Chain A
């Protein structure tokens, strides 16, 4: 309860700081007040096109994220089990990790359509954190359990689901958690540059061209809110998984 109160107090404090700063600056173009920002947001909410922009962005974000999860999981498992595959993929992973995201966005715009470029960049940028974690998860599998399965001649599919998957799961969750936040930032940034017909990034750019800073703030708020909701949804899903997992040591029978 106390924690919730402190969190709410912190939010109010920063809103106040924002309000004071906007009064001191006194130029809506540079820093609109919280009131104007929320009024703009309400105006946007009343427009049917607003939901279209969000829907298209969300489609790119979710599709990109899921494609990255599936491909990074499969390749991460193979690379974790086979060092040669990891070596083979390492230049590709290093290039993705060190190349500025803007380079990828520009290349994606050249190679793909304006609509697909944000999706492609999203997949590429979300891939490394998930892949790295899956490889780590496979490598940290308990060899003693693998030896046990070997002696009992357990079928490979059961070894994978019973031993490897259990070892990978917490690593995969950590990788997905990192990627989910990244997904929002990357997809919107790519939309700003690619400028597809529908997308939050497109609206951000249009607001900038119209010198409507309050709308830029309103759209940024929408991105933050959506990103927060997705992270919470992800947490709920993983917590649901944990509820089915073994009970804690406190339930131990002596």
Chain B
């Protein structure tokens, strides 16, 4: 279990987190569900140390290695798909052959190996996001953070990319923290779902083991989560 205790963070005068605590089961996909602007992305940025200036009583998240799939692919336009993956790899500790093998196998998993020599602006949004998923898995990590990575994709693309993501995740089953405001995505991917409320951000409901539920229990859980989310608007 990874624990975060009493996180406090403010932006200017606005308190985002006040003594916020959460527990994340290791080697599972945990979803943080909440409406837009409730502090989901800020939480991921705090965990990965993108954002500084916060206080915390205890954090098991410090000193961990992270991969991050962002809302937008964040690829380097001047680098090819292959070089974008190479960019995050530590060239000092890998031979050329090892590097090549891990890059090409990750690209193959997302069916982008044929496009390794393409530049990001030659790819569609869905293809670029598949490359960013490959980039997340090419480097060894303890925790994978995902910030609404399927937002803005059309339903067919989304289904395909989610499928490929799960396929890759099943190969290493590392801890994943995934934020979204899309209930269906959460139910499709997550083992545990924490619903976040805001002002300041707190966990208002936790759905454990959503993945184990049968269809009727899942429907009940879906309605319950839907009601909670609606009450937040």
Determine whether B120 belongs to the interface, using a CB cutoff of 8 Å to chain A: yes
Interface presence of B118 (CB below 8 A): yes
- Bound-state Cα–Cα, A248 to B119, Å: 10
CB neighbours of B67 from chain A (8 A):
151-152
Which chain A residue has the least Cβ–Cβ distance from B65?
A: A153
Residue A158, interface by CB 8 Å? yes
A145 at the interface (CB under 8 A from B): yes
Interface presence of A148 (CB below 8 A): yes
Does residue B87 face the partner (Cβ distance < 8 Å to A)?
A: yes
Query: A165 — nearest CB in chain B belongs to which residue?
Result: B78
Q: Taking the complex as formed, is B61 at the interface, i.e. its CB lies under 8 A from any CB of chain A?
A: no
Which of A152, A163, A166 has a CB less than 8 Å from the CB of B68?
Answer: A152
Whether A252 contacts B123 by the Cβ 8 Å rule is yes
A144-B70, A153-B65, A254-B124 known; A247 vs B87 contact (CB < 8 Å): no
Q: What are 15 A-B interface contacts by the 8 Å CB criterion?
A: A148-B68, A149-B87, A149-B88, A151-B50, A152-B68, A152-B88, A158-B87, A166-B76, A246-B78, A246-B119, A247-B121, A252-B122, A252-B123, A252-B124, A253-B115
With an 8 Å Cβ cutoff, the count of chain A residues facing the other chain is: 24
Q: How many A-B residue pairs have CB under 8 A?
A: 69
- Cross-interface CB contact of B77 among A148, A149, A150, A246, cutoff 8 Å: A246
Residues of B within 8 A of A26 (CB): none
Contact A150 B70 (CB under 8 A): no
Given A158-B91, A246-B78, A253-B118, 20 further pairs, Cβ under 8 A: A144-B74, A148-B70, A150-B50, A151-B48, A151-B66, A151-B145, A152-B88, A152-B135, A154-B87, A155-B91, A162-B79, A162-B87, A166-B76, A166-B78, A246-B120, A247-B121, A251-B122, A252-B121, A252-B122, A253-B122
- 8 A Cβ contacts from B40-55 to A: 45, 48-50
Select which of B87, B90, B123, B145 is within 8 A of A253 by beta carbon. B123
Q: How many residues of B contact A (CB 8 A)?
A: 32
B77, B122, B123, B139 — most chain A CB neighbours (10 Å)? B122
Binding site for B on A (CB under 8 A): 144-145, 147-155, 158, 162-163, 166, 245-249, 251-254
**CA A155 to CA B91, docked complex, whole Å:** 9
Q: How far is the CB of A252 from the nearest CB of chain B, in Å?
A: 5
Give the chain B neighbours of A158 by CB distance below 8 A: 87, 91
Q: Which of A158, A246, A247, A253 has the most CB of B within 10 A?
A: A246
**Which of A147, A148, A155 is within 8 Å of B90, CB to CB?**
A155
Which residues of A sit under 8 angstroms from B121, Cβ to Cβ? Answer: 246-249, 252
**Nearest chain B residue, comparing its CB with the CB of A152:** B88
Chain A residues contacting B183 (CB-CB under 8 Å) are none
Q: How many whole Å from A153's CB to the nearest CB in chain B? A: 7
Residues of A within 8 A of B76 (CB): 145, 162-163, 166
Bitwise, B100-125 to A at CB < 8 A (1) or not (0) is: 00000000000000010011111110
